[in-house]
């Protein structure tokens, strides 16, 4: 990897690194839902990935890139939960100690699972403390490698393997999707997916999807510069609360993304229920934003084929019941 922006070839190299450990997740659809929508919706089920989200891909790829002599010093990562679980699980497979800095209000299932994967968890207040400062301090004290949640070429290209799989799976189905939607916080997933699609589906448009009020990527793409979110903004999509796009992810997004979309928490809950009812899958809020964008018509699907990356399924039972009840 060079100082230049990550490339499609880097994604292919990442695919080789994770080939024997990551799951090739299915691309599914529902004929009844397609009839209801008037188009073809294909859903990439990353809740079936190891640790319940796409984050395992980037975490394993990035840690595998650390020189073996350096791995003894461990890794440090900060995350609302899915990156933490991915790093903890990947580090365990590679024999590396992992310290994970997580917000106190992260879903209990994400904190519990991170510890179960062998990670050391340090909790902080996401509205008062700086996770970046905490992570930098611990990394400096221990000599550990900091594994960023999104703004790192190794992370981006690991997530980009999803794009490679979508291209291969869509080709096997004999379809050329009009658009691919991916959830966006700091942009590691959607920028990586865009890179992964370049060779197999070069004409397919790629869009980010974010919670309303936290749509910094959409606004940044529209303005051509980094935009930030209001610190007071809140959402049930705990995995999608980065304050602004990453430097690397935004640079890739400006080149590869068609645009950005936003959906409300109410729409997300309905999408979670729809995914459960029609596709028999469990989506966490952040994992359902793409489905919500299609369901609401923000991404037109009538007469078209749209692929959505359902990025994760790590949701507390109480919130999932609430989503099913609201629908």
Q: Which of 17, 102, 91, 95 is nearest to 51 (CA)?
A: 91
Neighbours of 162 (CB within 10 A): 29
Q: What are φ and ψ of residue 45, in 5° steps?
A: -90, 80
Close Cβ partners of 36 (under 8 Å, ≥ 6 residues apart): none
CB of 209 closer than 8 Å to CB of 183: yes
Q: What is the C-alpha separation between 228 and 233, in angstroms, rounded?
A: 11
Rg (CA), the chain: 18
Q: What is the pLDDT of residue 109?
A: 86
Q: What is the pLDDT of residue 80?
A: 79
- pLDDT band of residue 208 (cuts 50, 70, 90) is very high
Q: Quick one: the chain helix, strand, coil %, rounded to 5?
A: 45, 15, 35
Residue-averaged pLDDT of the chain: 96
Read off the pLDDT of each residue in 69-80 and give the average, rounded to a whole number.
Answer: 94
The two tokens of residue 145 are 């490698």
Share of the chain above pLDDT 70, in %: 99
Q: Which DSSP symbol is given to 5?
A: P
CB of 48 closer than 8 Å to CB of 209: no
Close Cβ partners of 283 (under 8 Å, ≥ 6 residues apart): 47, 271, 272, 275, 276, 291, 310, 312, 313, 315
Q: What is the pLDDT of residue 88?
A: 97
Q: What is the C-alpha separation between 161 and 17, in angstroms, rounded?
A: 10
Domains within the chain, CATH numbers bracketed: 8-50+153-326 (3.40.50.1100), 56-146 (3.40.50.1100)
Residue 143 burial class via C-beta count within 10 angstroms: exposed 0-12, middle 13-18, buried 19 and up: exposed
Q: Which residues pair with 76 in a beta bridge?
A: 99, 146
Check the CA dihedral 236-238-243-244 and report its sign: negative
Asked if residue 250 has pLDDT above 70, the reply is: yes
Q: What is the pLDDT of residue 4?
A: 87
* pLDDT one-digit tens code per residue, 257-270: 999 999 999 999 99
Asked if residue 1 has pLDDT above 50, the reply is: no
Q: What are φ and ψ of residue 311, in 5° steps?
A: -80, -20
Read off the pLDDT of each residue in 58-87 and give the average, rounded to a whole number.
Answer: 95
Check the CA dihedral 192-194-195-200 and report its sign: positive
- pLDDT band of residue 81 (cuts 50, 70, 90) is confident
- pLDDT band of residue 3 (cuts 50, 70, 90) is low
Q: What is the C-alpha separation between 323 and 304, in angstroms, rounded?
A: 28
Asked if residue 320 has pLDDT above 80, the reply is: yes
- pLDDT band of residue 187 (cuts 50, 70, 90) is very high
Read off the pLDDT of each residue in 192-201 and give the average, rounded to a whole number.
Answer: 98
Residue 72 burial class via C-beta count within 10 angstroms: exposed 0-12, middle 13-18, buried 19 and up: exposed
């Amino acid at each position: 990897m060079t100082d230049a922006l990550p490339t499609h070839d880097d994604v292919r190299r990442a695919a080789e690194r994770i080939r024997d450990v990551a799951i090739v997740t299915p691309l599914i659809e529902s004929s009844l839902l397609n009839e209801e929508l008037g188009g073809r919706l294909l859903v990439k089920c990353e809740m079936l990935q190891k640790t319940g989200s796409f984050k395992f891909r980037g975490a394993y790829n990035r840690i595998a890139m650390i020189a073996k002599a350096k791995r003894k010093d461990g890794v440090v990562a900060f995350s609302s939960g899915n990156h933490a679980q991915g790093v903890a699980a990947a580090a365990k497979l590679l024999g590396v100690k992992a310290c994970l800095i997580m917000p106190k209000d992260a879903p209990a299932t994400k904190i519990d699972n991170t510890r179960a994967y062998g990670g050391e968890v340090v909790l902080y207040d996401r509205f008062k403390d700086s996770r970046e400062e905490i992570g930098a301090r611990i990394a400096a004290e221990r000599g550990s490698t900091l594994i960023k949640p999104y703004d790192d070429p190794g992370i981006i290209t690991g997530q980009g393997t999803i794009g490679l799989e979508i291209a291969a799976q869509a080709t096997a189905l004999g379809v050329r999707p009009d658009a691919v939607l991916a959830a966006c916080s700091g942009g590691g997933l959607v920028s990586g997916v865009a890179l992964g699609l370049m060779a197999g589906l070069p004409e397919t448009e790629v869009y980010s999807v974010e919670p309303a009020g936290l749509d910094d990527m959409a606004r940044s793409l529209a303005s051509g510069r980094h935009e930030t979110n209001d610190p007071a903004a809140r959402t049930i999509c705990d995995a999608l609360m980065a304050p602004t796009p990453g430097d690397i992810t935004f640079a890739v997004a400006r080149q590869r993304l068609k645009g950005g979309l936003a959906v409300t928490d109410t729409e997300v809950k309905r999408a979670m229920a729809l995914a459960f009812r029609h596709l028999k899958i469990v989506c966490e809020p952040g994992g359902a934003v793409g489905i919500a964008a299609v369901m609401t018509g923000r991404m037109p699907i009538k007469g078209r084929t749209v692929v959505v990356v359902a990025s994760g399924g790590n949701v507390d039972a109480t919130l999932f019941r609430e989503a099913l009840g609201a629908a």
